[in-house]
Chain A
Amino acid sequence: MAFNFGAFSYIVALIADAFLIFFAIFHVIAFDELKTDYKNPIDQCNSLNPLVLPEYLLHISFNLLFLFGGEWFSLCINLPLIAYHIWRYKNRPVMSGPGLYDPTNIMNADNLSKNMREGWIKLAVYLLSFFYYLYGMIYSLIST
């Protein structure tokens, strides 16, 4: 039993990941609302866009902890998602504020379904990684 940096990073990741799961759920719900015409796309983008960067930063931050803690495997399984986030943000439409979603093209059926799929996949990834972090935390705590 030792509370080392690795265990600390897993604990942080666990908490952060819980938030990320909520982000992903919110994402899915938001796009579902768009699909079913409950919300105006301008309002929906205004509520979605401020959450994009916090999500990305949260994800990157605990991966930085993994990096410093030498948790290479945990880092590696997160690297693809980080790369995707960076790519996604680099290719965002021209906008003055932060965020990814443009109300003028978000209603395109392709965009909607793509974003829906992204939401579901991310939700799955975060859920799975949540259990992995739980395991990692316990493992690092009980291993001496």
Chain B
Amino acid sequence: MNGSMSQQQIPQQQQLHSQQQVQQPQQRFQPPLQNPSLNKYLPPNVQNVQHEQPNTALAGQNAPLNPAYLQKSPLHYQKNALMNGGSTHSSRTASPSLNYSENIASSSASSSPNPGKLPSSSYMAPPPLANVSMSSPMQPQLNRSIGSNLGSGPNLAGAGLTPRANPNLNHLSNSMQNLTIQQGIASGPPTPLSSTAAPTGMNTNQTLPRTLGYSHPPTSALGSQGTAAAQRFAPGSMAYTSPVTSTATTPASVPQLQPNNMNRLNSAAPIQQQISPQNFSNTSPPVNQFSPNANMYGINNNPAPPPLSASQHPLPPSMQKPTPNFAPPPTSQQYQQPPTNQHFQQPPTSQQIQPPPTSQQFQQPPTLQQTQQPSNLRKPMYPPSNARPPVSQQQTPVYGTQPQPQQQQPQSFSSPSQYQSQPQSPATFNGYPNSGQLQYQGVYNQMSVAQQGFSKLWGQDSVDLMQQRHILPTERVQPPPIQLNNQFYEAVNCSPEIMRCTVNKVPESNNLLQKSRLPLGILIHPFRDMSNLVVINCPTIVRCRLCRTYINPFVHFVDSKMWKCNLCYRINELPEDFQYDPVSKTYGEVTRRPEVRSSTIEFIAPSEYMLRPPQPAIYLFLFDVSIIAQQTGYLEVVCDILSKRLESMPGDARTKVGFIAFNSEVHFYNIAEGYSQPHEITLVDIDDIFLPCPDNLLVNVKACKDLIKDILSQLPTRFASSHDSGSALGAALQVAFKLMSSPGGRITVFQSCLPNKGPGALQSREDPNNRSAKDILHLNPATDFYKRLALDCSGQQIAVDLFLLNQQYSDLATLSGISKYSGGCIHHFPLYQKTKPQLVETLKRSFDRYLTRKIGFEAVMRVRCTRGLQIHTFHGNFFVRSTDLLSLPNVNPDAGYGMQISYEESLTDIKSVCFQAALLYTTSSGERRIRVHTMCLPVTASLTEVMYSADVQCIVGLLAKMAVDRSLSSSVSDARDAFINATVDIFNAFRLAQNLPSGNSGQLIAPKNLALLPLYIAAILKHIAFRTGTSTRLDDRVYAMDAMKTLPLDQLMKYIYPEFYHLDALFYNNANENDDSDQQDPPVLQLSAEFIDSRSLFLLDCGTLIIIYVGLNVPPDILQNVLGVQSTAEISDYCYGLPSLNTPENESLQAFIESLNENKPYDPIIQIIRDTSTCKSQFFEKLVDDRSESSLSYYEFLQHLRTQVK
């Protein structure tokens, strides 16, 4: 047989790979201290931790199935042509031309290695009995994978599910002697019955004794799941599920803020340079204790001498508060009082820093003075020197005293007047709703005080970035509100989480927009998981007859029968039943309809919105089972989660799933309802792909649950013995397209290497030596095969989602086409290995979320905008079917979209513009729905207002998307230049708009709402997507670019500029036994190492990863209470997961992390890095405000901007 001959050499390869399979997949988050190899010798119940919940019911069902495995042999279809080496085309038509081999042996013969060559001698000794004698109830076949995995204990463990296979030593030894690799998913332990049909040479594998080891109790798999880690990662821990309890909701905290307000006032005085006192909690008790007693260190820092810089001051920033030197004047206090809960005062903002020539200057703290004060607070006694220059501290004047005018500022303000008029100071950065104050450096005094006061009143204050060193507010940046001068409109307007515009006041003409140099566009997160969505079912959906706009809160009702469309201004009639109010069941009041009361609404669509009956949920999974994929060991993780989540995947009774595995052949799984076992069909001819059998490849989940779970339990080891390095992704996708083409649905592809066989084969393009080159090549696809296929899929309502778990370069630039244009999503796990627990865990969580999240099928999204505007460019994963219509075969809640807007005509005489995104989709339960979001924005003719209404995060998000396009069409360096130019242009435009003096006056004046722009741009220039000069794998870069295009804005901002928290506030709050209602978020810090304190804990929230950084000298009690370790030395280098302890510190940290994860698709894993860890660099590379070898620091970037802004 040709097939068997061609695979004779497999055993040798197996020897090679056996060593690689030795690695034990890390169970959960066991600390890496534990030697992985030890696991293999643990009792079975320990080893089976991965199977968190063995399905005992299934076990019972499977046991009786086993005889069937023995007796019934798999249908192994081999194409006639290939088997005979003959022509291929004749076999296409019907099954008779397929070679059905009704026995196990032929299937195993086609791929089983020659027994004589089996590597028994080269393998290690058989493993201890305990190792192999465990078996899980989910494992119906015993010796399926013995041949491949028996050889060594490590090998067994490494091959994932196999260790659970063999119940019986006798069994084992037999199979060892026979050295048969069982092939075929149905080729179970053979019986004489099946052996009759088997070729004689293959009889060896049928001599296995039929001592089935199902006697072991199902608890063996349950064994050690009670570990803390396993509990923590229990399937219930999904994102979006739990309401956050730890967010600070404190009207009660407002009174406590008064000391803080005073502090703020102090720091606003231009004369006074203060580094705030140590204060560990911003809630009242510490403050109250502190302030009056002056138990703080106030550091009077002289900003006047230029070299003087307070950057590396020894205090952890969040522990510092501006000293309450002044009694707070009541008048200014109302300005100061933040409307909501006040977090920590932002200590950095209380410092005045002269713009440093370089960033290094910031690193020199010697002028700081600090005295250690005895405090009655519980706080760590910080050793004064922690790799820091000695500093001395000086006691601050007591609260209520006058400031010490130690410095002469160049400004002409006298200190008291200054501080009293602090709210009027134009440069005070006080506009963010909750921001700590930023100190005024009287830089441009051209404005009169009255003017400054007015401008502040109107939210039009600006800030000199050169003076304002710490620009980031201490709380999370909130989107600026939209002011429509209509309370109802403002209240009802679309949530900024769903839709945001780069400007909150739209310029009235293209000319004005060009003057402002701002990009105009909107970012939409249309299918976001929402808790309070209004769903209505009405017979007629009211829409404009001309532009088909859905009725929304911003329409104008001419009278009770007519409404005027707010997009095209046509006057439409209202249907009779629209006047019926479903809530009060009365007629007459149209404004009480839910359509008019909510700008986000979901209609249940009547049948005219269907071109065909709503499709069922159909999921097809494509698994790469090449040798590289086997080595990564992803299959067992994926199959495990898949079988657990089978019932919780969205869908109704019609839900179908199917599985296709591919290496250099394509394997189908025929799961007919009546079968006792799944049948595998292998298609060898991949160049001319066809569907081997028309049905039963996609089967109903409910009807065939057991068979599906059967497949999933066998798949991970099914190909462990075939060392096929080919990956025929293109062929598998083609056949998947054929399989799915009539109903549509979702194809999930797991790929772990470069596709190198059949159609769509690719060559490696990346030069590893060139990863840090200036010009980045090969960002564009090498072939349009995947794009064309994606377009075909899109036409048939199929989305392809890609999970890339690659070890080497896999040309994501080309492969991503399959998802980009079919509305899919891409998940990338670079360097995935089952030995890396963090990657395994991330894959688990991400895939878990992927399976269970909402899904919309056969979706289209249309974005309409007011006449005069049009959509210029779309960003995201979809196919643009017409100028305003996106074709989204699938839509998922984690996908965001961006649109650039351009002008068709001027908007003069229009008061407001609206954007309406309507998403028409089929729910997984077969219901057609329309989700409509409408956003209304005012129009302005004033350039200043445009500038002051810009939304910096949205701008950065849109710029990132545009830059990705630029990188692809031109080059990355062009995109980088474009970033800088855009920033410079915006500041130039602002300077012109404000008529500020030109020339290098040492200032960089920015509107306060755009003050963060340079910070974000500097960070994005160092982002993996756009950085140059730093070694970056091409796939990582391409993935990052795709993420820029598709992430919703909130996640994108974390991806660009991770949130960095100083955690001490959590712990010391608790230490002071405040009740939980006072719990406040820790302060957000800028991403600079200057804030790092060796005595504190820090948390970095990167979106998909949370890093907790443990300083070297964290007090032991904190360590004990938070992390459960005695000293930092006990934290291992690779420490993942936060232990749950029953201490208030730990609980508050858990609650805080939960609040961070509130809006994330899945809970990210937590990595704990101690100061001396080897992965410290992972943490420090995220601190993007600092300088690196190849990039500027934030302050250098500012300097650069300043020279450019003329």
Contacts and interface: CB of A to CB of B under 8 A. Distances in A.
Nearest to B795: A42
B1019 to A, nearest CB: 28
A109 B872 contact: yes
Nearest to A45: B791
A98 to B, nearest CB: 12
A83 interface: no
B327 interface: no
Given A104-B787, A110-B872, A110-B873, A94 B780 contact: yes
Given A94-B784, A95-B784, A35 B883 contact: yes
Contacts of B784: 93-96, 102
Contact of A103 (B783, B791, B874, B885): B791
A104 B879 contact: yes
B961 to A, nearest CB: 13
Interface in B227-256: none
B881 A94 contact: no
Nearest to B872: A109
B885 A37 contact: yes
A102 B821 CA distance: 12
B785 A108 contact: no
B304 interface: no
Name the prevailing secondary structure of the A interface residues.
loop
B87 to A, nearest CB: 26
Contacts of A110: 872-873
Contact of A109 (B783, B795, B871): B871
A107 interface: yes
Contacts of A93: 784
B880 A94 contact: no
Given A37-B885, A94-B784, A109 B902 contact: yes
B783 A96 contact: yes
Q: What class of interface size applies to chain A in its complex with B?
A: 10 to 19
B781 A94 contact: yes
B882 interface: yes
A47 interface: no
Interface string A69-100: 00000000000000000000000011110000
B198 to A, nearest CB: 46
A136 interface: no
Q: Which of A35, A109, A110 gathers the greatest number of chain B CB atoms within 10 Å?
A: A109
Contacts of B783: 94, 96
Contact of B882 (A41, A95, A96): A41
Nearest to A35: B883
Contacts of A94: 780-784
B747 to A, nearest CB: 19
Q: Which of B780, B785, B880 gathers the greatest number of chain A CB atoms within 10 Å?
A: B880
B749 to A, nearest CB: 19
A40 interface: yes
A76 B874 CA distance: 41
B902 to A, nearest CB: 6
Nearest to B878: A104
Given A35-B883, A42-B795, A104 B782 contact: no
B782 A107 contact: no
Interface residues of B, number: 23
A42 B784 CA distance: 14
A97 to B, nearest CB: 9
B881 A41 contact: yes
A137 to B, nearest CB: 43
B821 A104 contact: yes
B755 to A, nearest CB: 16
A108 B883 CA distance: 8
Contacts of B902: 109
B788 interface: yes
Contacts of B788: 96
B810 interface: no
B870 interface: yes
Given A42-B791, A94-B781, A109-B902, A104 B880 contact: yes
Nearest to A40: B881
A40 B880 CA distance: 9
A54 to B, nearest CB: 21
Nearest to A103: B791
A49 to B, nearest CB: 12
B780 A107 contact: no
Interface string B369-398: 000000000000000000000000000000
B791 A104 contact: yes
A107 B883 contact: yes
Contact of B870 (A42, A95, A109): A109
Interface string A35-64: 101001110000000000000000000000
B826 to A, nearest CB: 16
Contacts of B781: 94
Given A109-B870, A109-B872, A110-B872, A96 B785 contact: yes
A34 B880 CA distance: 11
Contacts of A102: 784
Nearest to B788: A96
A89 B902 CA distance: 29
Interface string B871-893: 11110000111110100000000
Contacts of B873: 108-110
Contacts of A107: 874, 880-883
Contacts of A104: 787, 791, 821, 879-880
A34 B783 CA distance: 26
Interface string A7-50: 00000000000000000000000000011010011100000000
Interface string A95-139: 110000011100111101000000000000000000000000000
B963 to A, nearest CB: 16
Contacts of A103: 791, 879
Contacts of A96: 783-785, 788
B380 to A, nearest CB: 58
Contacts of B871: 109
Nearest to B902: A109
B299 to A, nearest CB: 55
A102 B783 CA distance: 13
B870 A41 contact: no
A29 to B, nearest CB: 16
B393 to A, nearest CB: 60
A96 B785 CA distance: 8
A112 B882 CA distance: 11
A94 B779 CA distance: 12
A103 to B, nearest CB: 6
Interface in B339-379: none
Interface string B751-781: 0000000000000000000000000000011
Contacts of A37: 882-883, 885
A34 B785 CA distance: 24
B880 A41 contact: yes
A31 to B, nearest CB: 12
A27 B810 CA distance: 39
Contacts of B883: 34-35, 37, 107, 109, 112
Nearest to B870: A109
A55 B787 CA distance: 26
Contacts of B782: 94
A102 B874 CA distance: 15
Q: Which of B781, B873, B885, B902 gathers the greatest number of chain A CB atoms within 10 Å?
A: B873
Interface of B: 780-785, 787-788, 791, 795, 821, 870-874, 879-883, 885, 902
Given A96-B785, A109-B870, 12 more contacts: A34-B882, A34-B883, A37-B883, A40-B881, A41-B882, A93-B784, A94-B781, A107-B880, A107-B881, A108-B880, A109-B883, A112-B883
17 contacts: A34-B883, A35-B883, A37-B882, A41-B880, A42-B795, A94-B781, A94-B782, A94-B783, A96-B788, A102-B784, A104-B880, A107-B881, A107-B883, A108-B872, A108-B873, A108-B880, A109-B872
For the complex of A and B, list the 6 residue pairs with the smallest distance between their C-beta atoms, beginning with the closest. Answer: A37-B882, A107-B880, A109-B872, A95-B784, A94-B784, A108-B873
Interface of A: 34-35, 37, 40-42, 93-96, 102-104, 107-110, 112
